[in-house]
């Protein structure tokens, strides 16, 4: 009687083993085959350079400093450098949610990110900065200003700086124009400065002088 009791559990286990052999696999065949992740998977964030305007909003909402930004005004032209380090990323998605253009950075399905060299986790993106043509202060990236002007459409006519920034010709002044602009810097804004790209401070002063 006791022997019979012991045999039944063994037969049940055997049945389970045979069933599992003929059942579909529960695990993936990685690394023999790439692992398929769900559509909503949050993997390595990637900048979409076509749509990113370098505004830095994503840097401000990144909780781990996986995204950092520095404005380098020592170079000509001045540049904004945004650095991404995915070794510090917690894949929270804040950057994607808070992106100004809604398309500038996306979390991808890349999950196999292991590396022995931390430098490999770092990538940088450069954007040309627009300076105030009166006081030389940094206003923002040129790409951001052009994007704003396009978004505003006809309303951009209320902001000459945005309109001028949109005009690609203004991005490459002739030598004569550059000399003139250099001479005009660091003085009080005047009415004719309406035809210049100004920072908010100079714009405010200009309005007060009118």
By the criterion CB under 6 A, which residues form the site for ligand SF4? 45, 47, 52-58, 62-64, 66-67, 89-95, 99-101, 104-105
> To the nearest whole angstrom, how small is the minimum distance from the Cβ of residue 81 to ligand SF4?
11
Distance CA 196, CA 159 (A): 11
Residue number, 83 or 136, with CB nearest to ligand SF4: 83
Residue number, 40 or 186, with CB nearest to ligand SF4: 40
> To the nearest whole angstrom, how small is the minimum distance from the Cβ of residue 124 to ligand SF4?
13
> CB-based contacts of 13: which residues, under 8 Å, 6+ apart?
none
Residue number, 92 or 170, with CB nearest to ligand SF4: 92
Distance CA 52, CA 25 (A): 42
Tokens of 194: 């309406």
Q: Identify whether the C-beta of residue 135 lies closer than 8 Å to the C-beta of residue 197.
A: no
> To the nearest whole angstrom, how small is the minimum distance from the Cβ of residue 67 to ligand SF4?
5
Nearest in space to 135 (alpha carbons), one of 79, 80, 204: 204
Q: Give the residue at shortest CB distance from ligand SF4.
A: 104
> To the nearest whole angstrom, how small is the minimum distance from the Cβ of residue 98 to ligand SF4?
6
Q: Which residues pair with 72 in a beta bridge?
A: 79
């Amino acid at each position: 009687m006791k022997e019979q009791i012991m045999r039944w559990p063994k037969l049940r286990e055997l049945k389970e083993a045979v069933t599992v052999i003929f059942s579909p696999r529960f695990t993936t065949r990685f690394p023999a085959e790439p692992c398929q992740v769900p559509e909503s998977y949050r993997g390595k964030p990637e900048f979409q350079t076509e749509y990113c305007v370098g505004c830095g909003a994503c840097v401000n909402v990144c909780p781990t400093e996986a995204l950092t930004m520095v404005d380098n005004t020592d170079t000509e032209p001045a540049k904004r450098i945004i650095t991404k380090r995915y070794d510090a990323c917690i894949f929270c998605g804040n950057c994607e949610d808070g992106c100004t253009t809604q398309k500038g950075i996306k979390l991808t399905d890349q999950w196999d990110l292991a590396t022995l060299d931390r430098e490999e986790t770092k990538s940088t993106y450069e954007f040309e900065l627009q300076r105030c043509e009166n006081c030389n202060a940094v206003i923002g990236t040129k790409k951001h200003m052009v994007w704003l002007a396009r978004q505003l459409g006809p309303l951009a006519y209320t902001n000459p700086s945005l309109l001028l920034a949109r005009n690609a010709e203004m991005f490459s002044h002739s030598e004569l124009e550059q000399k003139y602009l250099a001479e005009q810097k660091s003085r009080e804004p005047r009415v004719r400065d309406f035809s210049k790209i100004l920072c908010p401070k100079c714009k405010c002063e200009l309005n007060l002088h009118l």
